Every structure is written in C-alpha cells, then in structure tokens.
Amino acid sequence: MGAIDFWLKNSRSAKSIEASEAVGRAEARYGMPRRELMKFATALVASMGLPTSALGAVVNAMTQPRRPSVIWLQFQECTGCTESLLRSEHPTLDKLILEMISLDYHETLSAAAGHQAEEMRLTAMKENKGKYILVVEGAIPVKDGGIYCKVGGKTAIELVKEVAADAAAVISIGSCASWGGMPSTSPNPTGASSVGSVLGKPVVTIPGCPPNPYNFLSTVVHFLTFGALPALDEKGRPKFAYGRLIHENCERRAHFDAGRFATQFGDEGHRQGWCLYKLGCKGPETYANCPSILFGDVGTGSWPVGTGHPCIGCTEQGIGFTKPIHSLAELKTVTPPVQFARPAEEQGQGATVATAACAAAIGGLVVGAGLKLGDTLGKRDDAPKPPTSKS
C-alpha cells in the first residue's frame, strides 16, 4: 500500500475526491475512514487496470442508493469459494453484502431456509428482472438428466437456466463453475460441466480453487461503475486478473533466471527460497494474479509458492486437477538464459547446445590452464632439466 499512500497524499485529484460529498456518503455507509475508503477504491482501480481518472466514478458507484441484487447458486462444490469471500477484509463481508451489493439469495449465508429461501429468490428475480447478477459456484452435473444435484426439487440444469434467463450478467466463480474443476476429473461419473457449456453462451469466469475474492469484487465494482463487464480473454476471464502468467510476477523468478532450483522439499535451495519449477510448479503455464494480490490479507508470501509449495495450476483447465502436481510445467513464454543448462534435460537425447557449450568452455579452460602451467614451468630456473645424452 506504500505506492497508494504516496499517490493519495500527493495527487490533487485524489485529494479533491477524498474531500467530496460522495466519499462522505461512502464513509457513513461503510463505516470506514475516508483514507481507508480511498485506499480500497484506489486498489480496485489499480487491480482492474483502469487509469486513476476512474477513481471518482468508482467512488460514485459505491455510493449509489440502490444496491445491485445478487443471486448466488451453489452446485457441485466444496463451498471454498464462499469461504474465500468470507475472509475478504476490504470491505469485510458484512459491509459487502449489506452495503455494496444486495445478496438476496445464498444457500450458505441465508438466514432463511426451505420454502422461504426459494421465495426470496423468486421475489428477487421478479423485482430486479434484467438487472440482477447471477453468481454460480460449483460445477453442474449433466449425466442422467442432471439427477445428481437438485435444489428445491429442481435439477441444477433447470435452476441455472431459469435464473440466468433474466440476469444482467452471469459470473462463474471458482474452477468448478468455470470449467468443471475437481468434480470433472476423469472418469467424471456425474458429467460435471461448466456453467457456460450448460447455458450454451459465454459467461464471466473467475477460476481458482479457491479464487481470490478481490477478483470477484473488482468484477462486480466494474459492472456497477460502467454498466458493463471488464475486458475478458477467450476463456471469459477478466484480463485484469488473468492477463499474465504467474511466473512473470513470482518472487522466485530471479532464481529461475539464474538457474537456481530447489530439487527436494526441505533441501538447501528450498529453504533459501529458490525456484520451485523442478518440484512441479505450474506458474510458467498458469494465468492468474496470485503473486500480485496474495490471499487472506495477512501480508507478504501469503500464496502457495510464497509458502513453499509449487503452484498446481488451479485456474487452468487441463492443468489443475489434470496434470500430476509434481510433473514439470510447459514453459510457455519464458525459458532460462541460454548460458545455463535447461532445468530438466530429456533422458537419452544427448547434449543440448547449452550443455555442449558449457562442456566446451570447461574443456577449453582445462586445456588453457595446462598450457599455461607448462609454459610457466618451462620458465622456472629450478625446474628439472631433461637428461642429456653423452656421446
């Protein structure tokens, strides 16, 4: 937050926004000091890749009197995505669901149950037709007509299609909803599928197991501010969160570039924070912002690689829950410098250009050293002279 503090302190436009009535209303609404509120809004703007000029629009959107209705459905999942949301701190969950959005239906967090809960969902859909946001957590089983998951007497297939019909936006939160996730692993007995494939249309996907709650929150705030979803990649993921490889921003990246790799858990390299590529880190082929925004609001290193375990690629279909955790990742865009041997050599393939060059260089050094030594010995006065033959 150091850079944000500096900008807020020295920017005239930021000072003007901080002193505005909109921030005053937000201060009263969220129970947050103005500076803390400005930090939160600025962090959202930065995470979405927006210019600082968008700060005023974001603050205004956060103070709109009518909060957007959110209907949150849960299917084949472990509730980890909801648990992740519960641990958001800026704002806390109570501020999020009571002040920023109107969470009108959520099976885990709702005080109502049974018929009452279903009635709340139907009322929210009717009163906010064409304006509510549908969030889906968990994969949808399609085998045998979808009988493996039912809520209120309806299959997950029926329910998601019914609610999505009049939604302003559909967001798949977590890898299970985004592309099938863990439930879809082979042999996939229930036919667990993504929300997009069931609806037959593109949806916003926020994959991760669990995803970072701020990626979800930033997506919702973008929708509130501009009335449109953020720019998405070909998989429906917000580019501000999934536009770069984890490897590019990893704090261990310098060790990768220098050819320093941990080869066993607990070895010297592992203890010193060297690159975890040889232990199976999927960072070089996984797109996410985990090393940039971290998890849990507990400080530096609060993400898998930061705590010493390889990334398993949970945001990528075909990698997370598919590739063995400790198998080597495909190096998509970044490889070690050519002066180093590759991190893992194929067996029985002979020497690579790099290893051959290293061997040649080492051999040259040895030969050169030998010649120099011989030359030096030849010049020593006390060096033994070769025997001469007497005639």
- Whole-model pTM: value is 0.74
Q: Are 277 and 256 in contact (CB under 8 A)?
A: yes
> pLDDT: is 136 or 3 the higher one?
136
Helix intervals (H) in 227-306: 239-242, 246-249, 253-257, 268-271, 290-293
Residue 62 burial (CB < 10 Å; 0-12/13-18/19+)? buried
Least confident of 132-141, 197-206, 311-320, 358-367: 358-367
- What's the token pair of residue 142? 């399609």
Q: Residue 275 carries which DSSP code? A: B
In this prediction, residues 246-252 reach a mean pLDDT of 93
Task: State yes or no: pLDDT of 375 exceeds 50.
Answer: no
Rounded to the nearest angstrom, the gap between the alpha carbon of residue 333 and the centroid of all alpha carbons in its chain is 18
| pLDDT given for residue 361 in this prediction | 45
Task: State yes or no: pLDDT of 112 exceeds 90.
Answer: no
Rounded to the nearest angstrom, the gap between the alpha carbon of residue 203 and the centroid of all alpha carbons in its chain is 18
261 φ, ψ to 5°?
Answer: -130, 135
In this prediction, residues 368-375 reach a mean pLDDT of 42
Looking at every residue in the chain, the average pLDDT score rounds to 81
For the segment 180-202, what is each residue's pLDDT rounded down to a tens digit?
Answer: 999 999 999 999 999 999 999 88
Task: State yes or no: pLDDT of 15 exceeds 80.
Answer: no
Residue keyed to tokens 């998989």: 235
3-state secondary structure of 287: strand
| pLDDT given for residue 339 in this prediction | 53
Task: State yes or no: pLDDT of 369 exceeds 60.
Answer: no
For the segment 226-242, what is each residue's pLDDT rounded down to a tens digit?
Answer: 888 899 999 999 999 99
In this prediction, residues 52-63 reach a mean pLDDT of 75
CA distance 18 to 25: 11
Sign of the alpha-carbon torsion through 140, 146, 147, 150: positive
Task: State yes or no: pLDDT of 360 exceeds 70.
Answer: no
- What's the token pair of residue 115? 């018929």
Task: State yes or no: pLDDT of 90 exceeds 70.
Answer: no
- What's the token pair of residue 265? 């858990």
Neighbours of 120 (CB within 10 A): 17
Q: Are 88 and 96 in contact (CB under 8 A)?
A: yes
- What's the token pair of residue 88? 């958001």
Work out the percent of the chain whose per-residue pLDDT is above 70.
77
Which CA distances in Å does 224 have to 45, 112, 283, 285? 13, 27, 32, 32
| SS3 sequence of 119-138 | HHHHHHHHHCCCCCEEEEEC
CA distance 304 to 170: 29
> pLDDT: is 284 or 26 the higher one?
284
3-state secondary structure of 369: helix
Residue 24 burial (CB < 10 Å; 0-12/13-18/19+)? middle
